[in-house]
Amino acid sequence: MKLENLQKTGSFKLRGAYYKVSNLNMLEAKKEVIAASAGNHAQGLALSCSLSGIKSKIFMPKSAPLPKIDAVKSYGAEVVLEGENYQSAYEAARKEEQRNGGVFVHAFDDPDVIAGQSTVALEMLQQNPELKSIVVPVGGGGLLAGISLAVKMIRPDIRVIGVQSANVSAVVQRFTGNPKSSLTRSTTIADGIAVVKPGELTLPIISKYVDEMVTVTEEQIAFAMMFMLEREKMVVEGAGAASLAAVLFHRHLALGKSVGLIISGGNVDPQKWSLYKEMADKLNVMKRIS
């Protein structure tokens, strides 16, 4: 397990955000950086801008977990709550960019951000060269695009598998060539990957380099969260637990193989743990993995 939940901001998103900010030119660095995020990109970008002495304004959905909102503010960013999902916050951030001429840093659809996220794969291959497959949580696709691109350039024999919540599976639908009508709802406990419109840059990379995509249910994600808490004493958010849920409930992904799981984040709203426990209990599958 690649424990990105142990990053300073509690998520892998710090990688892409920091690399993007480090590549801003002098003129861009004097402007305000603008972004939209459900929380993890917001924290990574806020900290990166703070370390570089750059002002930042982050648009977040009203449904974002309070710990994430507070954390973004603590890193020095101005937070604007807009809409009920990432897409609403994104549209508001784009309007702000047009009004004030700031520098917009996309949460996933940016070459520098994708490149920064790819460093997760580089470290995994250094630490565990015997890996046969890597399972990656997917929202807009920045992490999966970076991982798959890096892996296939270095170790094309390794399988790359993406996983999404069944409730918000836009990338899976596009990957399988069976897109449903445009997703407008993004109700999932995996708020970090609740993206209804995948990236224009990320999708072609995913289509070319990713080997397989799967979905997991809300109850399966909750079960994986509770499994990490109870068995590993590790706090993992819904998005971060998706990769574990994938191998627990899609057994073919792990049987007889050396598998790397990206535990992408650990920013959980503590007030919702009882809900996660209730959802996990519905599965009644503890005997299956004991």
Residues serving a catalytic function are 13, 264
φ, ψ at 258 (rounded to 5°): -95, 110
φ, ψ at 33 (rounded to 5°): -85, 135
Cross-strand pairs, 265: 11
Burial class (CB in 10 A: 0-12, 13-18, 19+), 284: exposed
Assigned token pair, 120 = 């997760």
φ, ψ at 48 (rounded to 5°): -60, -45
Q: Are 15 and 120 in contact (CB under 8 A)?
A: yes
Which residue, 185, 167, 191, is CA-closest to 39? 191
In the chain, count H helices and then E strands. 14, 9
Going by their DSSP bridges, the two strands 259-263 and 133-137 should be labelled as parallel
Spatial distance between the Cα atoms of 168 and 264, rounded to a whole number of angstroms: 17
- 59 three-state secondary structure: strand
